């Protein structure tokens, strides 16, 4: 997979995308990540990429021309499965969306900044808009990194144990069950006996029960999924 990220502040992405699972995935050739500085396509001596908004109001707007030039250049070099704009005014990222995107070959992610981008850029190029929550950040770099991480960890070969991602919260519309490791007892708190039993069927049943219990207590909204309506 190849992921191209367009940013007004690319330095914010350096640390996040060069360590841990993402770096290992890059080292193994599972994913290629390229970061483009939008200022390289800015206008004039000062590489301007933002301007006042028509109609007045506070906040600057990312200009359509520099972004159109950059995106058009990249589109001329390859076909993108999705060109994604990270913005609060969009559908919230879910695990199912991450699963879907992990099956693609080429993604472009635009990290918004300032008050947003000129709507004409969205009309011309953006194929999908994603939010990471109902709140506003200073820029789209963190959301872009969140999306990249959520997608990359699902690609075969990215994680040393590929089954790990399949048992994460939300993969089956449930929260993940509690997990334990050594020691078997700590400050009077014991690991549930079933996890020490070696009975894999009973362990699986316990985990499913706990996942449903936690979901009902913490995120009952997830149980609106029709696939879960017939569960006890």
| Residue 106 neighbours by CB under 8 Å, 6+ apart | 1, 2, 3, 4, 78, 79, 80, 81
pLDDT mean across residues, the chain: 92
pLDDT of residue 225: 62
pLDDT at 148 over 60: yes
| Backbone φ, ψ for residue 6 (5° rounding) | -105, 125
Architecture of domain 2-152: 3-Layer(aba) Sandwich (3.40)
Q: pLDDT band for position 150 (50/70/90)?
A: very high
Q: What is the average per-residue pLDDT within 200-219? A: 96
Q: Which two structure tokens, joined as six digits, stand for 24?
A: 């290992």
Q: Is 222 helix (H, G, I), strand (E, B) or coil?
A: helix
> Tens digits of per-residue pLDDT, 4-29?
999 999 999 988 899 999 999 999 99
The CATH 3.40.1280.10 domain(s) of the chain lie at 2-152
Q: pLDDT band for position 162 (50/70/90)?
A: low
Topology of 167-228 in CATH? 1.10.1270
pLDDT of residue 224: 79
Helices (H), the chain: 11-14, 20-27, 64-77, 95-101, 119-125, 141-152, 163-166, 200-218
The CATH 1.10.1270.20 domain(s) of the chain lie at 167-228
pLDDT of residue 231: 42
């Amino acid at each position: 997979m190849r992921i191209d990220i367009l940013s007004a502040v690319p330095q914010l992405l350096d640390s996040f995308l060069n360590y841990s699972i993402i770096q290992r995935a890059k080292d193994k050739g599972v994913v290629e990540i390229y970061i483009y500085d939008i200022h390289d396509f800015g206008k004039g001596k000062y590489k301007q990429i933002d301007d006042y908004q028509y109609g007045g109001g506070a906040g600057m707007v990312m200009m359509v021309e520099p972004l159109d030039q950059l995106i058009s250049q990249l589109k001329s070099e390859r076909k993108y499965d999705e060109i994604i704009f990270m913005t609060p005014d969009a559908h919230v990222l879910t695990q199912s969306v991450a699963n879907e995107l992990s099956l693609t070959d080429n993604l472009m992610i635009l990290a918004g900044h300032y008050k947003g981008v000129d709507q004409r850029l969205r009309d011309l190029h953006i194929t999908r808009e994603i939010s990471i929550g109902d709140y506003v950040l200073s820029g789209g770099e963190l959301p872009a990194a969140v999306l990249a991480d959520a997608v990359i960890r699902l690609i075969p070969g990215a994680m040393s144990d590929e089954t790990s991602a399949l048992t994460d919260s939300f993969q089956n519309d449930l929260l993940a069950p509690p997990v334990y490791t050594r020691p078997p007892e700590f400050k009077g708190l014991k690991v549930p006996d079933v996890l020490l039993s070696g009975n894999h069927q009973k362990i699986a049943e316990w985990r499913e029960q706990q996942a449903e219990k936690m979901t009902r207590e913490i995120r009952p909204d997830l149980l609106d999924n029709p696939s879960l309506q017939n569960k006890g």
